[in-house]
Structure 1
Amino acid sequence: MGRPRSHGHDTAEALLDAAERIAQAEGLPAVSVRRVADATGTSTRAVYSVFGSKDGLVVALATRGFELLAADVAAQPSTDDPMEDAVRAGAESFRRFATGHPALFRIAFRDGAVDPEVAAGFDRARRGALGQLVGLLDRACAHAGLATSGAEAAWAFHAMCEGLASLELRGSLGDDPAARWVACLRTVMRGLA
């Protein structure tokens, strides 16, 4: 029988919360095992025990981001207008994720601070979130009788969401960012149709 874990789910959540706060305030390079441990009043051993390394902590942060995004998209209600459901998923779910967790958005969508080898560690979570989007777009494409697949449509749709999020986080979407998201995503969906 193995040794019982001294650091469980609550410790992991506290460490991730602290790491996200540090990344938000100062950027991902400021996140260190020591700073995260100090911010939670625990030891570096706790960080290593839960995540294995700083890279493991970064993987967990990105995974958290993709899981939050996927859960929000999955929670969106389905209506008899799948095209509008897709617009709502982007304009509400993706926007809520990016503006509510900007540090996780930057980490998950690799703003350059994440090493590609580390990013490979959160690829499964990324594919899970993408799968939620592809499912919505498959439904929208089938409803509209489009020749393209949800997987192909996801490239344009995701590019628009990621671009809008980046612009909004820089304060460059004007006085009504929510309306800009909806207008741009409706344009993408009309373009696909």
Structure 2
Amino acid sequence: MPRAKQRTNDLRERGVATALAVLAEEGVAGLTTRNIARRAEASVPAIYEVFTDKTGLIREVYFEGFRMLGEALAALPVTDDPVEGLQRVARSFREFVVTNPVLAQVMFSRPFADFDPTTAEDKAGVKVRKIFVDRARRAIDAGVLVGDPTDIALVYFALLDGLAAAEAARRLGSSPQSVERRWALGIETLLAGLRP
């Protein structure tokens, strides 16, 4: 008996959820249209109709990753201590990357040759960027950091992204203590250099 047509929002949601699960379980190599269709209990043509092609599926995963990260960062309470606020952002970002290492690769390292985000796709990170800028602005307004909030936010994000990539590649040390110490050193050094 042929499958019922499933070209709906339900299939879109199922396809993205399946792609996230495949990335977590099988890595980048497992993310094929055929594999997603099989695991989502859909046909390959149905997946193509919903996502257009594999690049469309990767694009949706990319957007979902930034939505998830944005929600995690937005859930952080604002504190009276703006430096602690920045440190909480770092911890939450790190936790997201450690929990979702392959998804983080899709978002920040571009492991698929056929997916190169355009300006429109880069807007997926606007919510994340605004949270970084907001936390930097709070620290500047409190007089504990000096500089342009956007500059500080982008440099801070680049530091965290680099530390997360180094940790994933096991370049920050072999013991949890050394990794923690080097994360703290990087963050403290950057923030100390931005103090009045």
For normalisation by structure 2, the TM-score amounts to 0.83
Matched-pair contact (CA < 8 Å) for 1:59–1:121: no
Higher helix share: 1
2:39 matched residue in structure 1? 39
The offset of 1:186, in angstroms, is: 2.4
Q: What are the Cα deviations for residues 66-124 of structure 1, in whole angstroms up to 9, with x where unaligned? A: 1111111111111111111111111x211111111111110111344355644545211
The offset of 1:157, in angstroms, is: 0.6
| In 1: Cα distance, 2:185 partner to 2:88 partner | 11
Assess, with a 3 A threshold, how the Cα gap between structure 1 residues 155 and 52 changes in structure 2: closer, same or farther. same
Matched-pair contact (CA < 8 Å) for 2:110–2:116: no
The offset of 1:6, in angstroms, is: 4.0
Match of 1:184 among 183, 186, 189: 186
| In 1: Cα distance, 2:88 partner to 2:188 partner | 9
Query: Which amino acid in structure 2 is aligned with residue 150 of structure 1?
Result: P
Unaligned residue ranges in structure 1 (runs of 5+): none
Assess, with a 3 A threshold, how the Cα gap between structure 1 residues 39 and 124 changes in structure 2: closer, same or farther. same
| In 2: Cα distance, 1:181 partner to 1:169 partner | 13
More relative contact order, 1 or 2 (CA 8 Å, 6+ apart): 1
SS in 1 for 2:142: helix
Matched-pair contact (CA < 8 Å) for 1:87–1:182: no
Matched-pair contact (CA < 8 Å) for 2:55–2:115: no
1:49 matched residue in structure 2? 49
| In 1: Cα distance, 2:81 partner to 2:144 partner | 13
| In 1: Cα distance, 2:47 partner to 2:136 partner | 39
| In 1: Cα distance, 2:49 partner to 2:144 partner | 51
| In 2: Cα distance, 1:8 partner to 1:105 partner | 25
The offset of 1:48, in angstroms, is: 2.3
1:23 matched residue in structure 2? 23
2:162 matched residue in structure 1? 163
The offset of 1:57, in angstroms, is: 0.8
Q: What are the Cα deviations for residues 135-164 of structure 1, in whole angstroms up to 9, with x where unaligned? A: 111111221254412200022211111111
The offset of 1:183, in angstroms, is: 3.6
Q: Which moved more, 1:113-122 or 1:132-141?
A: 113-122
| In 1: Cα distance, 2:9 partner to 2:60 partner | 14
For normalisation by structure 1, the TM-score amounts to 0.84
| In 2: Cα distance, 1:16 partner to 1:149 partner | 37
Assess, with a 3 A threshold, how the Cα gap between structure 1 residues 12 and 134 changes in structure 2: closer, same or farther. same
Larger radius of gyration, structure 1 or 2? 2
**RMSD, aligned α-carbons:** 2.4
Assess, with a 3 A threshold, how the Cα gap between structure 1 residues 28 and 180 changes in structure 2: closer, same or farther. same
Assess, with a 3 A threshold, how the Cα gap between structure 1 residues 100 and 15 changes in structure 2: closer, same or farther. same
The offset of 1:61, in angstroms, is: 0.9
SS in 1 for 2:157: helix
Matched-pair contact (CA < 8 Å) for 1:88–1:182: no
| In 2: Cα distance, 1:145 partner to 1:165 partner | 25
| In 2: Cα distance, 1:120 partner to 1:51 partner | 19
Query: Which amino acid in structure 2 is aligned with residue 59 of structure 1?
Result: R
Q: Which moved more, 1:127-136 or 1:114-123?
A: 114-123
